[in-house]
A and B are shown apart, each in its own frame.
Chain A
Amino acid sequence: MSAQGCLAANDWICGEYLRSRSQELTDATVQHIWITAVSVAIGLIVAFPLALLARSRPAFAGPVLGLTTLLYTIPSLAMFSLLLPFFGLSAGLVITGLVLYSLTILVRNIMAGLESVPEEAREAARGLGYGPARLLWEVELPLALPALMAGLRIATVSTVALTTVGSIVGKGGLGNLITDALTSFFKAQVLAASVLCVLLAVVADLLLLGVQRLLTPWTRAGGGRASRRARLPRRTDRAARPGGGGPSPEDGRATADDPVKAVG
């Protein structure tokens, strides 16, 4: 049959491959997803206090930003290799490397988000008797969410791509399939794994965009409900965008954060 033939002929697109190796593909995708998710989650947990520290103590801001930027310069292959003596061939190695990369983007965006909170909003909250913790949680954090989520999306998408390099230590999710297929020149597997990888990045981005919409209903409220809650953040959202930005918040964040590079 022609379906059988495509494996023998080593075609780029092969239905038979997808059918017979579906378990392998699923396993690799699952590994890819959990490595990415754990890395970004830890990155977020580490980045948040760092950003708060850098904000409250300006003396820390330079070193914190400098160090995270420095880490971002180190190529991924070198990063994973340098961590090898400490972790051995484990998923912990890949995750640590990915966390270090995500820090650059997350710290910067959380700081930018908090800085974009207008001083009047803070003053008003203080005037109402808000303490520092409540101010952060109920006023600053919601207002910083658009920038924070934009950073989270960038970090997630680049982490999905970078995870493939983890195949150097056998923990690269879909990257493992690519590495395995390279030696045997197995076109269908290289293409399928690459496409799945890009799809994963796109799906993750869209999911986070959905979460962002759910968490920040005021940014798309339009003129409909003119509740007090809806008005204040809308003004800040516009202020947060540099140079007038693009027509939509998404364009604005893309322009604002773009130059962050994706170290292969």
Chain B
Amino acid sequence: MGVLGDAWTWLTTGANWSGTSGVWHRLGEHVYVSGVALVLACLVALPVALYLGHLGKGGALAINISNVGRAVPVFAVLALFMVSPLRNSGYVPTIIALVLFAVPPLLTNAYVGMREVDRAVVEAARGMGMSGRQVFVRVELPLAYPLIMTGLRSASVQVVATATIAAMVGQGGLGRIITAGFNTYNTPQVVAGALLVALLALFVEGALLLIDRLIDPGRRSASARSRPSQTSGATDAAGSPTTA
């Protein structure tokens, strides 16, 4: 309990929360960088994925991008940016690296979501005289919604988690509290920082889960029935298309 007690002391010391290397400032950096990266990633990935999914083309592309994304270490990419001229451009290296890592889950989930829409339903909609745009907006998008949101959730949590690594290359964010603690052999600070980061990641996951349930277009129609996919948050969080 010694270290945890010391970590608690660190967390409850007001001085650690103020100033440019305080918790509030680092949290602000963390949220800012993650938020910008996530919005940019959505702007890049979603239109491409939804369009390809609508057309039914580019499946191999979507899958390969996500596999490549898994193999590339975030830390290495950030380090590469930090020894390039980009290092002098403030948050840009972190944001680019985060966008690169948010795009694969967004792209793949949105694409798979669009493709998993029952073909018979799409055919029926076409048979009723819906145009391509109408099929897209009224049929495919609502039905693909759960998987798209799963991808968004994966990407968000991934971005918030990855933003921590930025500290290892000297960029801002909550991870800096951890690395600063390492540099000064201050274990209580390291543990306190780690707790803060873990809490933020869990908070983001929880908040997104809540938002997801609140705005799910299938919720109203399906509220009467019990929804098997929602019985376990865990199955849902993994977002395997088999369960969605």
Interface residues of A (CB under 8 A from B): 61-62, 65-66, 68-70, 73-79, 81-82, 84-85, 104, 108, 112, 154, 157-158, 160-165, 167-168, 174-175, 178-179, 181-182, 185-187, 190-191, 193-194, 197-198, 201-202, 205, 242-243, 246, 251, 254-264
Q: Are A182 and B242 in contact (CB under 8 A)?
A: no
Residue on A with the closest CB to B206? A73
Selected from A77, A163, A179, A251, the residue in CB contact (under 8 A) with B175 is: A77
Q: Are A165 and B115 in contact (CB under 8 A)?
A: no
Assuming the A-B contacts A251-B60, A263-B158, are A70 and B202 also in contact, with contact meaning beta carbons closer than 8 angstroms in the complex?
A: yes
Q: Are A81 and B71 in contact (CB under 8 A)?
A: no
Q: Mark B97-127, 1 if CB is under 8 A from A, else 0.
A: 0000100010011001001100000000000
Q: Are A191 and B80 in contact (CB under 8 A)?
A: yes
Q: Which residues of B contact A198 (CB under 8 A)?
A: 71-73, 76
Report how many residues on chain B are interfacial, defined by Cβ distance under 8 Å: 70
Interface residues of B (CB under 8 A from A): 3-4, 59-60, 63, 66-67, 69-77, 79-80, 82-84, 101, 105, 108-109, 112, 115-116, 147, 150-151, 154-155, 157-158, 160-162, 164-165, 167-170, 175, 178-179, 181-182, 187, 190-191, 193-195, 197-198, 201-202, 205, 232-235, 237-242
Q: Are B109 and A259 in contact (CB under 8 A)?
A: yes
Expressed in whole angstroms, the Cα–Cα distance for A191 and B76 within the complex equals: 8
Residue on B with the closest CB to A83? B194
Residue on A with the closest CB to B1? A85
Q: Which residues of A contact B70 (CB under 8 A)?
A: 154, 157-158, 161, 201, 262
Return the 8 tightest CB-CB contacts between A and B, nearest first: A264-B74, A259-B239, A264-B162, A65-B234, A194-B76, A81-B194, A75-B161, A201-B71
Selected from A62, A182, A261, the residue in CB contact (under 8 A) with B154 is: A261
Sample 20 A-B pairs with CB under 8 A, ordered by A number: A70-B202, A75-B160, A78-B193, A79-B194, A79-B198, A84-B190, A85-B3, A164-B75, A164-B76, A165-B75, A178-B79, A182-B79, A194-B73, A194-B77, A198-B72, A243-B241, A246-B59, A251-B59, A254-B66, A264-B164
Among A70, A76, A262, residue most surrounded by chain B Cβ atoms (within 10 Å): A262
Q: Which residues of B contact A255 (CB under 8 A)?
A: 59, 63, 108, 112, 241
Expressed in whole angstroms, the Cα–Cα distance for A185 and B116 within the complex equals: 47
Selected from B63, B101, B233, the residue in CB contact (under 8 A) with A246 is: B63
Among B80, B109, B160, residue most surrounded by chain A Cβ atoms (within 10 Å): B80
Q: Are B242 and A161 in contact (CB under 8 A)?
A: no
Expressed in whole angstroms, the Cα–Cα distance for A162 and B101 within the complex equals: 13
Q: Are A264 and B158 in contact (CB under 8 A)?
A: yes
Assuming the A-B contacts A175-B73, A190-B80, are A85 and B187 also in contact, with contact meaning beta carbons closer than 8 angstroms in the complex?
A: yes
Expressed in whole angstroms, the Cα–Cα distance for A108 and B240 within the complex equals: 9
Residue on B with the closest CB to A169? B182
Expressed in whole angstroms, the Cα–Cα distance for A163 and B182 within the complex equals: 18
Expressed in whole angstroms, the Cα–Cα distance for A61 and B162 within the complex equals: 29
Q: Are A261 and B157 in contact (CB under 8 A)?
A: yes
Q: Are A76 and B83 in contact (CB under 8 A)?
A: no
